[in-house]
Amino acid sequence: MNPYIKQFPELFKGKKVLYVHGFGSSGQSGTVTRIREVLPEAIIIAPDLPIRPEEAMALLQEVCQKEQPDLIIGTSMGGMYAEMLTGYDRILVNPALQMGDTMKDHGMIGAQHFSNPRQDGVQDFMVTKALVKEYKEMTEQCFLGITDEEQKRVWGLFGDEDTTVNTFDLFREHYPTAIRFHGEHRMNDQSFMHSVVPVIRWIDDRQEGRERPIVYIDINALRDKWDKPNSSSQKTIRTLLETYQLYFVAPAPAEAQHYADVNAWLYEYVNVPAWGHTVFSNQKQLLYGDYLIDVEKTEGMATLIQFGSDTFKTWDDIAAYFERLGGQ
């Protein structure tokens, strides 16, 4: 049993997810297996893409027209194609938005071998300078006709250890939702579960009009005296994310450095779930939500869970409390 993989049958239940694979891969990759395991009730569509970009794009447009996917996930080269499939919710993971340059920079010219089995049985292919030029011309079609509505439908996830592709700044010029996650170019189980699944959940909630109970977590309840995460806090956060909408709360002093420090800490230890879910406030009692996890005895609108008190001495105690609540 894979310790990083957990199934979420309620996510995208009965809905269609189109996966667009990377260069030299196929619809039979490990990532496709991973998506099917994690979203067992979703319909996963993962075609093998032709090597020539015009043919690949034509196939994807045909698939979209026929299947009308509820979500498109594209990785690497697949992220480049997914960006151009307008009109759908999309997650681009380490998108190779300058594919022609990437191929040249990483010596992808000459005889190549597909990294995964393909339905046509082909195992090898040739990359010529002419093909690289075709990819370069294809990437010039990225970012055309982006509307305000389109900007809300595209999420970019960028591994902070990716040494193959770096298009974070380019993507951010066109879309506001550019998020760095802990991981390399090739996604593994851990980066998928901790970085991609939270975004899938946000998109599914928005599509379904689903409002989850809100839990505010004061950053001081997460940090120990050495500025590291308290024991079991990260594990509890990952469990709570399955049922609740989490927001992370920190004071709002005048010093600008404080905001940078808080964001850096949350980026390091919470990462993607803290993106767009951080609240700076000196009036925690006014926060409108269901629960507040805090080290202080804050009387307010949310039910207080006082970390360090007799009832909630540890994060394991907090986890047990929410488990008893059963998502309420």
The rounded percent of the chain whose pLDDT value lies above 70 is 99
Terminal Cα-to-Cα distance of the chain (whole angstroms): 30
Clarify whether residues 222 and 131 are in a common domain: no
Q: Positive or negative CA dihedral for 146, 148, 153, 158? A: positive
Reported as half-sphere exposure (CB side, CA atoms, 13 A), residue 99 has a value of 30
pLDDT of residue 106: 80
Report whether pLDDT(173) > 90: yes
Phi, psi of 138 (to 5 degrees): -65, -40
Report whether pLDDT(67) > 80: yes
Clarify whether residues 204 and 218 are in a common domain: no
**pLDDT level of residue 299 (50, 70, 90 thresholds):** confident
For residue 5, being part of any structural domain is answered with: no
For residue 80, being part of any structural domain is answered with: yes
For residue 268, being part of any structural domain is answered with: yes
Question: How does pLDDT run across 102-160, given as a tens digit for each residue?
Answer: 888 887 888 888 888 888 888 888 889 999 999 999 999 999 989 999 999 999 999 99
Last residue within a domain, chosen from 191, 208, 225: 208
Clarify whether residues 192 and 281 are in a common domain: no
Position 51: which residue type? Answer: I
- Give the Cα separation of 76 and 98 in Å (integer): 10
Report whether pLDDT(233) > 80: yes
Average pLDDT of the residues in 311-315: 96
Question: How does pLDDT run across 24-45, given as a tens digit for each residue?
Answer: 888 899 999 999 999 999 999 9
Clarify whether residues 181 and 47 are in a common domain: yes
The rounded percent of the chain whose pLDDT value lies above 90 is 81
Q: Which residue has the higher pLDDT, 105 or 195?
A: 195
CATH number, domain of 299, equals: 3.40.50.1000
Could you tell me the CA-to-CA distances from 49 to 61, 75, 218, 275 in Å, in that order? 12, 13, 46, 32
For residue 242, being part of any structural domain is answered with: yes
pLDDT of residue 105: 85
Across 5-14, 75-84, 119-128, 240-249, least confident range: 119-128
Clarify whether residues 242 and 301 are in a common domain: yes
- Give the Cα separation of 125 and 109 in Å (integer): 10
Reported as half-sphere exposure (CB side, CA atoms, 13 A), residue 146 has a value of 16
- Give the Cα separation of 134 and 81 in Å (integer): 13
- Give the Cα separation of 68 and 72 in Å (integer): 10
For residue 11, being part of any structural domain is answered with: no
Last residue within a domain, chosen from 149, 176, 208: 208
For residue 249, being part of any structural domain is answered with: yes
Lookup result for tokens 């993507």: 171
Clarify whether residues 25 and 154 are in a common domain: yes
Average pLDDT of the residues in 11-34: 94
Mean pLDDT of the chain: 93
Report whether pLDDT(5) > 80: no
* Cα Rg of the chain (Å, integer): 22
pLDDT of residue 3: 61
Q: Would residue 326 be called left, alpha or beta, if left means φ above 0 and alpha means ψ between -120 and 50 degrees?
A: left
Residue-wise burial string across 229-241, b where 16 or more C-beta atoms lie within 10 A, e elsewhere: bbeebbebbbbbb
Pair 141, 97: CB distance under 8 Å = no
Report whether pLDDT(1) > 70: no
**pLDDT level of residue 4 (50, 70, 90 thresholds):** low
Clarify whether residues 176 and 44 are in a common domain: yes
Clarify whether residues 120 and 261 are in a common domain: no
- Give the Cα separation of 258 and 229 in Å (integer): 18
Question: How does pLDDT run across 261-281, given as a tens digit for each residue?
Answer: 999 999 999 999 999 999 999
**pLDDT level of residue 327 (50, 70, 90 thresholds):** confident
Average pLDDT of the residues in 306-318: 96
Clarify whether residues 231 and 132 are in a common domain: no
Pair 222, 230: CB distance under 8 Å = yes
Clarify whether residues 166 and 108 are in a common domain: yes
pLDDT of residue 101: 87
| Three-class SS state of 201 | helix
CATH number, domain of 178, equals: 3.40.50.1820
pLDDT of residue 2: 59
> Helices then strands (H, E): number in the chain?
13, 13
pLDDT of residue 328: 79
Clarify whether residues 182 and 43 are in a common domain: yes
Clarify whether residues 114 and 182 are in a common domain: yes
Residue-wise burial string across 138-162, b where 16 or more C-beta atoms lie within 10 A, e elsewhere: bbeebbeeeeeebeebbbbbbbeeb
Last residue within a domain, chosen from 140, 173, 208: 208
For residue 8, being part of any structural domain is answered with: no
Instruction: Please state the domain count of the chain.
Output: 2
For residue 1, being part of any structural domain is answered with: no
Both tokens of residue 313?
């001495």
- Give the Cα separation of 280 and 129 in Å (integer): 52
Domain containing 26 equals 16-208
